Amino acid sequence: MNRHLDSTAANILSGGTSKSHDIEGGMISKAPICAEETVAGIPDISQELREKIRSRKAKVGIVGLGYVGLPLAVEFARQGFQVTGIDLEPQKIEQINSGKSYIGDVPSEEVARWVEQGLLCASSDFNVLAELDTINICVPTPLRKTKDPDLSYILAAVEQIQKNLHPGMLVILESTTYPGTTEELILPRLAETGLEVGRDFFLCFSPERVDPGNSQFNTRNIAKVVGGVTPTCTELGTLFYQQAMEKVVPVSSTQVAEMVKLLENTFRSINIGLANEMALLCDCMEIDVWEVIEAAATKPFGFMPFYPGPGLGGHCIPVDPFYLSWKAKMNGVEARFIELAGQINGAMPHFTVNKIQAVLNDRMKSVKNSQVHLLGMAYKKDIADVRESPALDVLALLRKLGARLSYSDPHVPRVKLADFELESQPVLPSCREADCVVLLTDHSSFDYEAIVNQSSLIVDTRNAFRAWRMEKIIRL
């Protein structure tokens, strides 16, 4: 079944300039390989798996033990499943097997407890897959330099799963990707084994929604969306997650599940883009954008506050929408909101540096040779993740302009750019010595009062100094 956009819808989406082309591989098509019904005489392998899951005897495997995979592995171990984590990095394997965590949200004591009880172990040997009943794929899905999806990590993991696929196995992709990946890329490879999806093995997509550093919502209490290739796949995927998650939301297909995640992250990217555009407009009109947003947020319906900042960071929001726009292009449609938000958000580090340049200029100083101290390198508060962090862009841009640079981040001891490295410095002496302090990540542990007292000039990109109204504090 090919699902085509009708030409009117395609025209509206592409601004009336594009035709709805059939690009090879670009359309979502249901794979023909599907055998739901139990054939008389052949044992129903799904029933066996169902019972293993219910009795918690199913052996769970997690491929990729990063920000997503490790919390998931720990959650299933906590529920009494025997969990094997598989990763390529020997350091991670060693750390887990010796009871240590390397992810902020997962305490080492917990890893140690499950390892000691024999419920959690890690390995880099993919042959262990042959012993497992369920496999969750949690490997990275970055973008190539051209902003095209890089699915090489998924394909490498699937190649190993294919070698070890056996009847009664449930495979679930959790990595964020474009709609169609599960059925266009993974299903044909697994079906090459001669096993049939929906009868011999089961395949689902379930987006991961974990928010590192969020103390309220975690792997367990964030609702889990799951869509399978066949109804039995969905049902088994749902049953699997129900053992460890408070709420599971089954949807009708893998494509719907894939699109859910992209809608969520695109929604954030676009709304942050709007907040950033508002910041640029307010800057020209000398209006305090933060006050505008706070006042607008008092509306009890129809408005949700998003905030400007030095740019987007992390492994998801700056990356995922481009998976969708790539897929849209393959379907002859232009995702204009996504591209526009990407442009605005991508320009924010430049805007931040222009602001620093302007405030120094007002004080008869040039960026060149000024001491600029950056507070925060992580892409968001209270975590150690610097992937895609806009702070790194600000750092690189200031360096190009000849600033003398230092930074403080309690979570990030060292940063490395292409041609230089910096170590985190103690906050206060650095603020005192700086011509300009720039707040880039509003970590809770910063002593904001002391920073205000010790600094001669602050550029605040997060409204972290909202409690102080002083000339020396310049808000984005």
Ligand X SMILES: NC(=O)c1ccc[n+]([C@@H]2O[C@H](COP(=O)([O-])OP(=O)(O)OC[C@H]3O[C@@H](n4cnc5c(N)ncnc54)[C@H](O)[C@@H]3O)[C@@H](O)[C@H]2O)c1
**Binding residue for ligand X, selected from 199, 224, 315, 475, defined by CB under 6 A:** 315
User: Shortest Cβ distance from residue 292 to ligand X (Å)?
Assistant: 29
431 labelled catalytic: no
- Is 476 a binding residue for ligand X by CB under 6 A? The answer is no
Alpha carbon distance 179, 157 (integer Å): 19
- Is 89 a binding residue for ligand X by CB under 6 A? The answer is yes
- Is 199 a binding residue for ligand X by CB under 6 A? The answer is no
Residues 6 or more apart whose Cβ sits within 8 Å of residue 323: 141, 143, 149, 176, 177, 178, 262
Radius of gyration over every alpha carbon of the chain, rounded to an integer in angstroms = 25
- Is 234 a binding residue for ligand X by CB under 6 A? The answer is no
Order of strands across the sheet with 404-408? 404-408, 371-375, 436-439, 458-460, 473-475
SS3 of 80-115: the string is CCEEEEECCCHHHHHHHHCCCCCCCCCCHHHHHHHH
Which one from 204, 233, 282, 316 is the annotated catalytic residue?
316
Beta bridge partners of residue 374, listed in sequence order: 407, 438
- Is 208 a binding residue for ligand X by CB under 6 A? The answer is yes
- Is 62 a binding residue for ligand X by CB under 6 A? The answer is no
- Segment 128-187, which members bind ligand X (CB under 6 A)? 138-141, 153, 156-157, 175-176
Residue 372's H or E segment, with its range, is: strand 371-375
**Binding residue for ligand X, selected from 34, 49, 87, 251, defined by CB under 6 A:** 87
Alpha carbon distance 407, 414 (integer Å): 9
Alpha carbon distance 193, 46 (integer Å): 18
Alpha carbon distance 92, 337 (integer Å): 39
Which residue type does 415 have?
Answer: V
**Binding residue for ligand X, selected from 65, 122, 394, 474, defined by CB under 6 A:** 65
Q: Which stretch binds ligand X (CB under 6 A): 81-89, 217-225, 288-296, 418-426?
A: 81-89
User: Shortest Cβ distance from residue 344 to ligand X (Å)?
Assistant: 22
Q: Per-residue contact track with ligand X, 275 to 314, x per CB under 6 A?
A: ----------------------------------------
**Closest residue to ligand X in the complex (CB):** 66
Q: Which stretch binds ligand X (CB under 6 A): 82-90, 239-247, 294-302, 396-404?
A: 82-90
Is there a contact between 78 and 107 (Cβ–Cβ < 8 Å)? Answer: no
Residues that bind ligand X (CB under 6 A): 63-69, 86-89, 92, 138-141, 153, 156-157, 175-176, 208-210, 212, 315-316
Active site residues: 316
